[in-house]
């Protein structure tokens, strides 16, 4: 059996900056047996840190997302319902097909003027203040407003929803995660029932309720709740972190900020480099070996958990020269920030559109933008990569 690496022994330094640890692991090989830090300290899994191996593993059908294949059942499936991230073909194919009918590229593109309008309104309120926490004032309200309007969710109690949502994806304890999922499940059940009873609407959730495939297939009530959960949570948490870390990376790399200010046509490249350099999802959600297999020359037994390191893979020097350098002019093609294969992020076009709009508009309207003290803590756990606070001034 492989040696087990205790990630918890690296302490808070690992949460603040996991990249040196991942780099040392890559030097020793692309796949390692690890024990997770924090609330999951009892949990052992395989961790894939090499780019080539991660890309192959993300598309390997022998690595299942549905824990029932090895006799496991996820807490969020019990409390919320079945959704794309914990489903395998043919169930995943069916669910994704039904969602793709409603969540189209055309629908995302139609949001462009509204995203710009929300961005401008947030900056109209923020900029006269001279300083702010970027997360509270800008990075959080933009995507939560966009996904709320897209789904047709009435004005959320944003402070409460933010707390529940963050606890669901970056839990501080097992109890708090359970409580957050229970309350989110109750909220979404009520929301869907309200939608059904209030008659047809042209928002995404209304479309999902009505969507029917050629064979008459529809989403069940638990599937609808699961789909609303993943769209609402993943539809804003990742984008909050992408906008925040993008601005943080630019402000801590003034040479790259100067390059972008000199040519705003590089905004797409800046967003893609942020995704590669400090993507909002640190590790893909768990997979399980449905049969024995090898990953990067390492034998993985049936039933073993596998965690695929997206940010670790995207700092692999065999794929990206000088990987720890933030360089908005580099070729970022092939990065894994949105995953790869059948589970490639359905919301990637929307996240990219929001990040490009937000970062470009903020830099154009705040030419003196600078850090205003130390950033807040990085989110706990190994799923999400993002800052809780980013104090800025202009």
Tens digits of per-residue pLDDT, 282-297?
A: 999 999 999 999 999 9
Element at 6 (helix H, strand E): strand 4-6
The per-residue pLDDT for 189 is 86
307 DSSP assignment: E
From the centroid of its chain, how far is CA 167?
14
pLDDT higher than threshold 70 for residue 158: no
| Percentage of the chain modeled with pLDDT above 70 | 95
* The two three-digit tokens of residue 98, written as one number: 């039904």
Helices (H), the chain: 11-16, 19-28, 51-58, 75-79, 91-102, 105-110, 112-126, 134, 141-151, 158-169, 174-197, 204-210, 221-251, 254-262, 267-278, 310-313, 348-365
Average pLDDT (18-41) is 90
Distance CA 250, CA 260 (A): 9
Helix (H) or strand (E) run with residue 367 in it? none
Q: Which pLDDT band holds residue 323 (cuts at 50, 70, 90)?
A: very high
Q: How many CB atoms lie within 10 A of CB 66?
A: 20
Indicate if the pLDDT at residue 215 is higher than 70.
Answer: no
Least confident piece of the model among 38-42, 69-73, 236-240, 337-341:
38-42
CATH of the domain at 105: 1.10.630.10
For strands 44-48 and 305-308, give the pairing. Answer: parallel
Q: CB of 185 within 8 A of CB of 230?
A: no
Nearest Cα to Cα of residue 292 among 284, 283, 281, 300: 300
- The chain-wide mean pLDDT, for the chain, equals 90
Q: Judge whether residue 159 has pLDDT over 70.
A: no
Q: Could you list the residue range(s) of the whole structural domain that residue 374 is in?
A: 4-393
Position 190 scores a pLDDT of 85
Inform me whether the pLDDT recorded for 313 exceeds 80.
yes
Percent residues over pLDDT 90 in the chain: 62
Give mean pLDDT, residues 211-226: 76
- The answer, yes or no, to whether residue 345 has pLDDT greater than 80, is yes
Chain segment 346-375, per-residue pLDDT in tens:
899 999 999 999 999 999 999 999 999 999
Q: How confident is the model at residue 214 (pLDDT cuts 50, 70, 90)?
A: low
Residue 1 pLDDT more than 60?
no
Residue-by-residue DSSP string for 75-107: HHHHHT---GGG--TTHHHHHHHHHHHHS-HHH
Instruction: Please name the residues in contact with 359: beta carbons below 8 A apart, sequence gap of 6 or more.
Output: 243, 246, 247, 250, 267, 270, 271
- Taken in order 148, 149, 151, 153, the sign of the CA dihedral is positive
Average pLDDT rounded to a whole number, residues 236-242: 92
Q: Is the pLDDT of residue 213 over 80?
A: no
Q: Is the pLDDT of residue 329 over 90?
A: yes
Q: What is the number of other CB atoms lying within 10 angstroms of the CB of residue 114? A: 13
pLDDT value of residue 182: 87
Mean pLDDT for 182-202 is 83
**170 confidence band (pLDDT: 50, 70, 90):** confident
pLDDT band at 238 (very low <50, low <70, confident <90, very high): very high
Q: What is the pLDDT of residues 102-140, one digit of tens each?
A: 788 888 899 999 999 999 999 999 999 999 999 999 999
Number of domains in the chain: 1
Q: Which residue has the higher pLDDT, 197 or 136?
A: 136
pLDDT in tens, 40-59: 556 899 999 999 999 999 99
The CB density around residue 342, as the number of other CB atoms within 10 Å, is 16
Please measure the distance between the N-terminal and C-terminal CA atoms of the chain and give it in whole angstroms. 55
Greater confidence, 259 or 106?
A: 259
Rounded CA Rg of the chain: 21
Q: How many CB atoms lie within 10 A of CB 130?
A: 10
């Amino acid at each position: 059996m492989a040696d087990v690496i205790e990630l918890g022994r690296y302490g808070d330094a690992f949460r603040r900056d996991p990249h040196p640890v991942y780099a040392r692991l890559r030097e020793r090989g692309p796949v390692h047996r690890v024990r997770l830090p924090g609330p999951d300290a009892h949990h052992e899994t395989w961790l894939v840190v090499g780019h080539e191996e991660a890309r192959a593993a993300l598309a390997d059908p022998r690595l299942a997302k549905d824990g029932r294949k090895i006799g496991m059942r996820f807490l969020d499936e019990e409390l919320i319902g079945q959704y794309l991230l914990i489903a395998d073909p043919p169930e995943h194919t069916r669910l994704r097909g039904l969602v793709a009918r409603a969540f189209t590229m055309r629908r995302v593109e139609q949001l462009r003027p509204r995203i710009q309008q929300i961005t401008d309104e947030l900056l109209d309120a923020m900029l006269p203040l001279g300083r702010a926490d970027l997360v509270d004032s800008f990075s959080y309200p933009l995507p939560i407003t966009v996904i709320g309007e897209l789904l047709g969710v009435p004005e959320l109690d944003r402070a409460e929803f933010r707390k529940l949502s963050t606890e669901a994806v970056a839990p501080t304890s097992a109890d708090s995660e359970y409580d957050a999922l229970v309350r989110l499940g109750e909220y979404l059940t009520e929301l869907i029932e309200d939608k059904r009873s209030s008659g047809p609407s042209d928002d995404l959730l209304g479309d999902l309720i009505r969507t029917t495939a050629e064979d008459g297939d529809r989403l069940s009530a638990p599937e609808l709740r699961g789909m609303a959960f993943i769209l609402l949570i993943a539809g804003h948490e990742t984008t909050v972190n992408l906008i925040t870390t993008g601005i943080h990376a630019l402000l801590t790399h003034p040479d790259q900020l100067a390059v972008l200010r000199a040519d705003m046509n590089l905004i797409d490249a800046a967003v893609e480099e942020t995704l590669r350099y400090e993507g909002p999802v640190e590790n893909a959600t768990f997979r399980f070996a449905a049969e024995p297999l090898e990953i990067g020359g390492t034998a993985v037994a049936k039933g073993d958990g596998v965690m695929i390191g997206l940010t670790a893979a995207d700092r692999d020097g065999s794929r990206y020269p000088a990987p720890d350098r933030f360089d908005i002019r580099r070729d970022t093609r092939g990065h894994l920030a949105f995953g790869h294969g059948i589970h490639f992020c359905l919301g990637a076009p929307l996240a990219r559109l929001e990040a490009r709009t937000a970062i470009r508009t903020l830099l154009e309207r705040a030419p003196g933008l600078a850090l205003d003290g130390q950033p807040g803590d990085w989110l706990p756990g190994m799923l999400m990569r993002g800052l809780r606070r980013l104090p800025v001034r202009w």
